[in-house]
Every structure is written in structure tokens, then in C-alpha cells.
Structure 1
Amino acid sequence: MPTVSQTKTFNLRELRLAREACPRRVSWAIAFLRAYALTSVEFPSLRRTYISWPWPHLYEHPEAIGNLVVSREANGESWLFFAPIASAESFSLDRQQGLLERYQSGPVEEVFKNQVRLAHYPFFVRRLMWWLRFHFSSSKRIKRLGTFALTTVARHGVSILDPRAPVTSTLTYGPISDTDQCDVTISYDHRVMDGKEVAEILCATECIMQTRLVQEFHDLAAYHRSLNKAA
């Protein structure tokens, strides 16, 4: 996949303050995933995928499906899994965080059943199944792989410079500085999008995080405070 990466520095001061004031803990990964999914409503190319078989064409999915890369222990080893969140532009921060917590703590053989099963197949079977996932059905490919991926190692103080995943775009972000600045990178399939559009997507995502997401955190905080008072 011919990928290109572009980076923009986000100012996340207002969002950080709103997030810290919210009684419900919501990870930064979910905040970024929510913002990026909302951006995909305005930019349909984020929901498009290049399909090479049986002829080269683009497929556009009606909804955003984000895949978070989650690290889990399985069989005494560290595994990386794709944690899908469908209709990511519609689900609330609260619901998305609940899904992430299930992926992070639920039994690996249950929450990542298909991925664990696929890993135990012989090599040639895995190759065949991957080919089928990529080419047999456009909608099923998106259902299994998502419209975009999100991966980060920011909590270790490290940035990923060129993230790769079998999707049209992959979002990653680095550690947030003391001045609330954060480098955000999108790696994308150049056959689907060009640099100007990705620059606009980065700007739109930052704007959503500075406005709509701040308000969603305020609303979520008010909701949980009302629950605490009722209890």
C-alpha cells in the first residue's frame, strides 16, 4: 500500500481541562477516535477503500468503523489486536470507553475470538483468508478491518512516525507536552487521498477536539454528577 504520512501539532488545552474535570475517565485514545470518526462525516474519503480486484475501484462505506490497536497478554506472550468500534461517529464517549474497557480486560479468547482463531491456522490458510478479506467483499473487508485505525505509544513518551495498517488511513498521536501541544500524524493511502485533503482533515479534527469534544466532556461530566447526586 503506497502510504504517505503528514503531521500537525494540536493545541489540546481546553480539551485536557474538560477531560480532567469529568468524573468518568475517558482515555485520550477514545477522544482521538471519536474526533476522527466525526471528521469522516465531513470527509467521505476517510470511509473509502481502494479495491484492486476484480478491477481497481474505490468503495465508500456508509459509516465509520475505527480499529484501536490493543496490546494484550495471550498464551504467555504479548499480542496486538484490532479492537473495532462500529458507528464510531454515532456512539458517545461513554459508550466507546466502555467498549475499550471490555477489549482491555475481557477474556482474550472471547473479545478477540476471530483473531485468536485465525492466528492458529496454518500459514497458507491465513494467507488465503487474508486475500479473501481484502478482495472478496468490500463491505466485509471494512467490517473486519475498519475504515481507519488508531495506534499510539504516547503513554511511554514516544511518537510513532509512520504508522502502518491495512486500512486507508491510520491515526497516531504522541505525548502531550506541558503546554498542551500534541503532534498528530495521519498515514494514508495515496491512491485514495492527496496531501491537501489530509491537511484539511488534520485541521478539521483539531477543530472538533477544541469545540465539540470539549462540550461532550462537559455534558458527560454533568450527566455523571447528576447520577452521583441521585445515588
Structure 2
Amino acid sequence: MRGRAVPLTPARTLMADLSWIARKVPIGVIRREVDLSPLIAARRASAPPRMPFTVMTAKALALVARDMPELRRSYALFPRPHLYEVPVSVASIMIEREIDGERAVIPVRVRDPAGQSLRAIAAILDNARAGEGGEAAHLAKLMRISRLPLPLRRLAWLWGFNSGRQRPNYFGTFGVSVLGHLGGEITRPVSPLTSFVSYGPFTADGTTQMSMAFDHRVMDGALIVEAMGGIEAALNGAIREELAG
């Protein structure tokens, strides 16, 4: 059938390259039902605009990572295979914005979400959507790399993801993406990061299925189950209290 070739935009090229890197990561996925009804009630009672679940989840995971150093580690190849641990988490929160006339999903880094307020984190995402703030410069850097020829791009990404010190600077230590408000769910996240959290729509009683992908070279499933319980507790505890406050 005759059609037409549609060139890859830099944003689509970025996603293609990240998927290529993720194929080299032995990813495991754990699903667990969580009850977030206390958080949902506090969110409904809070003043608008309502706090995005991605923001609350990113801070909750960072709070858990304070006591679980495995969640702040990454598997690095250079100069030899080893695990690299950073002192604070750097979240990679996925947002949608228009780039060159195309709707694109991009990662926005947030350094030490556990040490920031929910509104401060939300402001970082708002600025990124508007093309303002420090993340605008980082996005421009990612787009410049995505415009490079394939061999140079692959070298840049391999260096960024296999250098323990550089990985947080490129994409952070963990990722968060929530599609429940759109009625969808990511059942098997494709991510090159050490961990990646997502969940789908809530039921009437406030429960949802949370998925957490993880790099099996860094940690095992039992720790992930424990971490997911910690995220649930943090969302219904410290995060809910901050919303109420």
C-alpha cells in the first residue's frame, strides 16, 4: 500500500533512543493493589488547583528512598561494572507538552523531591510545560542530542546512562508516570531507570493497581514490594498531611 514516510521529530527520536537503552536493562515489574482513599479525600477537600498525583507520588517515593539506599542506586558500566549511590533522589516526572507543533512526552527532573514542598515540585512541572526555568535548558540539551546522527546519539546516551555520576544529571534516579486520570494504565513500563512507578484509574473505594518496574541488577522483587508499601503509607500519611495543611 502506498503511503508516506513521516520523519522522526527530535521528541520521537528521544523516546526511540530511551526504548533502545531500556531493552538492555533486565526489567522486572511488580503490581500491587494500594488503597489511597485517605489521600483522595484530602485532595478533594483541598483548595484548587488540585495537586497532580504524579507530584505526590514522586515525593512519596523520594521519602521512601531516604531509608532505602537501593532506590538511590544505579547500575553503571564505566569504568567497570558497579553500583553507584547518590545522596538524594532525582525524580524524572513525565509530562506532556507541545514541541515543534507535536504533542510529546518528556521527562522533567526534580532534585530531592523529599526536601521540597508539593507546590514547589508542581511549579517546576508548570514551568517546564511553559518552556521556562532551568528544565527548559535541560530539555533544549536533550533535543540537541536527539538531532545528532545515530552513532553520536547512541554514544551520548550510553555514556549518560552507564556513568553513575552522570545518570542523575540526564534523567534522574527514578521515574513516575500516571495515566489514571485519562482512564488508562501502564502495565509494563519501558524505562532504563532503576525504578519507575505508575498506576491506573481508581475504583470507587479509592484503590488502584500500582506497577513498579525495577532494574533487577540493582535490587530484587521483595524490596520493591516493601517499597510500594512504603509509598502507599507515605501518600496516606505525610503527603496527605501536607495537603491538609
Q: Partner residue of 2:214?
A: 188
How far has the Cα of 1:52 moved from its partner?
2.0
Cα separation, partners in 2 of 1:109 and 1:50, compared to 1, 3 Å: closer
Q: Partner residue of 2:147?
A: 120
How far has the Cα of 1:54 moved from its partner?
2.5
Which of 33, 37, 40 in structure 2 is aligned with 1:9?
A: 33
Q: Give the number of aligned pairs.
A: 218
| Structure 2 alignment gaps of length 5 or more | 1-24
Q: Partner residue of 1:201?
A: 227
Cα separation, partners in 2 of 1:189 and 1:12, compared to 1, 3 Å: same
Which of 199, 211, 215 in structure 1 is aligned with 2:237?
A: 211
Q: Partner residue of 1:106?
A: 131
Which of 47, 56, 71 in structure 1 is aligned with 2:81?
A: 56
**Given that residues 197 and 210 in structure 2 are in contact (C-alpha distance below 8 angstroms), is that contact kept between their aligned partners in structure 1?**
yes
The reply to whether residue 65 of structure 1 matches residue 90 of structure 2 is yes
Structure 1: which amino acid aligns with 2:30?
A: Q
**Given that residues 152 and 172 in structure 1 are in contact (C-alpha distance below 8 angstroms), is that contact kept between their aligned partners in structure 2?**
yes
Distance 1:15 1:167 in 2: 27
Q: Partner residue of 1:20?
A: 44
Cα separation, partners in 2 of 1:153 and 1:85, compared to 1, 3 Å: same
**Given that residues 72 and 173 in structure 2 are in contact (C-alpha distance below 8 angstroms), is that contact kept between their aligned partners in structure 1?**
yes
Please give the residue correspondences for 1:148-187 in structure 2 after superposition, counting only pairs within 5 Å.
148-187=174-213
The reply to whether residue 32 of structure 1 matches residue 57 of structure 2 is yes
Give the TM-score taking structure 1 as reference length.
Answer: 0.89
Partner SS state of residue 126, structure 1: helix
Structure 2: which amino acid aligns with 1:9?
A: E
How far has the Cα of 1:85 moved from its partner?
0.5
| Deviant stretches of 4+, over 3 Å | 107-111
Cα separation, partners in 2 of 1:205 and 1:189, compared to 1, 3 Å: same
Distance 1:187 1:105 in 2: 29
Distance 1:100 1:175 in 2: 22
**Given that residues 151 and 163 in structure 1 are in contact (C-alpha distance below 8 angstroms), is that contact kept between their aligned partners in structure 2?**
no
Structure 1: which amino acid aligns with 2:187?
A: L
Output one character per residue of 1:108-155: Cα deviation in whole Å (capped at 9) or x when no partner. Answer: 9656211121121221221111122123x4222222121101122222
**Given that residues 145 and 166 in structure 1 are in contact (C-alpha distance below 8 angstroms), is that contact kept between their aligned partners in structure 2?**
no
Give the TM-score taking structure 2 as reference length.
Answer: 0.84
Distance 1:91 1:197 in 2: 25
**Given that residues 83 and 164 in structure 2 are in contact (C-alpha distance below 8 angstroms), is that contact kept between their aligned partners in structure 1?**
no
Structure 1: which amino acid aligns with 2:145?
A: L
Distance 1:126 1:69 in 2: 21
How far has the Cα of 1:105 moved from its partner?
2.5
Distance 2:145 2:62 in 1: 28
